[in-house]
Amino acid sequence: MAHQWRGVIREYAQRLPVGPATRIISLGEGGTPLVFAPALSELTGSKVYLKVEGMNPTGSFKDRGMTMAITAAVESGAEAVVCASTGNTSASAAAYATQAGIKCAVLVPDGKISMGKLSQAIAHGAELLQVNGNFDNCLDVARKLSENYPVFLVNSVNPARIEGQKTAAFEVVDFLGDAPDYHLLPVGNAGNITAYWKGYREYAESYISATAGELPAVSTKTPIMWGFQAAGSAPIVAGHPITEPDTIASAIRIGNPASWQQAETARDESGGLIDSVTDEEILAAHRWLSSKEGVFVEPASAAGVAGLLKHHAAGNVPTEKTMVITVTGHGLKDPQWALRTADGSDIEPTKVEFDVVSVANALGLTGL
Ligand SMILES: *Cc1c(COP(=O)(O)O)cnc(C)c1O
pLDDT tens digits for 39-76?
Answer: 999 999 999 999 999 999 999 999 999 999 999 999 99
Chain centroid to CA 168: how far?
Answer: 10
More confident residue, 1 or 344: 344
Residue 1 clears pLDDT 80, i.e. is over it: no
The CA distances from residue 131 to 88, 95, 128, in Å, are 16, 21, 9
| Ligand 1, atom 4, residue with closest C-alpha | 188
- Residue 164 CA to ligand 1 center (angstroms) comes to 14
Instruction: Give the separation between CA 15 and CA 255, rounded to whole angstroms.
Output: 32
pLDDT recorded at residue 156: 87
pLDDT recorded at residue 341: 85
pLDDT tens-digit series, residues 319-341: 999 999 999 999 999 999 999 88
Secondary structure, 3-state, the chain: CCCCCCCHHHHCHHHCCCCCCCCCCCCCCCCCCEEECHHHHHHHCCEEEEEEHHHCCCCECHHHHHHHHHHHHHHCCCCEEEEECCCHHHHHHHHHHHHHCCEEEEEEECCCCCHHHHHHHHHCCCEEEEECCCHHHHHHHHHHHHHHCCCEECCCCCHHHHHHHCHHHHHHHHHHCCCCCEEEEECCCCHHHHHHHHHHHHHHCCEEECCCEEECCCCCCCCEEEEEEEHHHCHHHHCCCCCCCCCCCHHHCCCCCCCHHHHHHHHHHHCCEEEEECHHHHHHHHHHHHHHHCCCECHHHHHHHHHHHHHHHCCCCCCCCEEEEEECEEHHHCHHHHHECCCCCECCCCCCCCCHHHHHHHCCCCCC
The verdict on the CB of residue 300 being under 6 Å from ligand 1 is: yes
pLDDT recorded at residue 113: 86
Pocket test for ligand 1, best of 88, 256, 295 (most atoms within 8 A of CB): 88
pLDDT recorded at residue 153: 96
- Residue 40 CA to ligand 1 center (angstroms) comes to 22
pLDDT recorded at residue 199: 98
Pocket test for ligand 1, best of 61, 138, 155 (most atoms within 8 A of CB): 61
% of the chain at pLDDT higher than 70: 100
pLDDT recorded at residue 252: 97
User: Shortest CA distance to 187 belongs to which of 148, 225, 239, 146?
Assistant: 225
pLDDT recorded at residue 93: 98
Instruction: Give the separation between CA 63 and CA 133, rounded to whole angstroms.
Output: 25
The verdict on the CB of residue 192 being under 6 Å from ligand 1 is: yes
Q: 23-27, 113-117, 208-212, 229-233: lowest mean pLDDT where?
A: 208-212
pLDDT recorded at residue 225: 98
Q: Which residues contact 6 (CB under 8 A, 6 or more apart)?
A: 26, 28
- Residue 61 CA to ligand 1 center (angstroms) comes to 8
- Residue 189 CA to ligand 1 center (angstroms) comes to 7
Task: Identify whether the C-beta of residue 226 lies closer than 8 Å to the C-beta of residue 275.
Answer: yes
Q: What is the mean pLDDT of residues 25-44?
A: 98
Residue 231 clears pLDDT 90, i.e. is over it: yes
Average per-residue pLDDT for the chain: 96
- Residue 366 CA to ligand 1 center (angstroms) comes to 47
Residue 159 burial (CB < 10 Å; 0-12/13-18/19+)?
Answer: middle
pLDDT tens-digit series, residues 132-159: 999 999 999 999 999 999 999 999 899 9
pLDDT tens-digit series, residues 203-225: 999 999 888 889 999 999 999 99
Q: What is the mean pLDDT of residues 260-264?
A: 98
Q: Which residues contact 275 (CB under 8 A, 6 or more apart)?
A: 226, 227, 228, 229, 237, 307, 310, 311
pLDDT recorded at residue 111: 81
Q: What is the mean pLDDT of residues 293-314?
A: 98
| Ligand 1, atom 14, residue with closest C-alpha | 251
pLDDT recorded at residue 276: 98
User: Shortest CA distance to 163 belongs to which of 117, 126, 132, 202?
Assistant: 202
Instruction: Give the separation between CA 64 and CA 264, rounded to whole angstroms.
Output: 22
% of the chain at pLDDT higher than 90: 92
Task: Identify whether the C-beta of residue 64 lies closer than 8 Å to the C-beta of residue 168.
Answer: yes
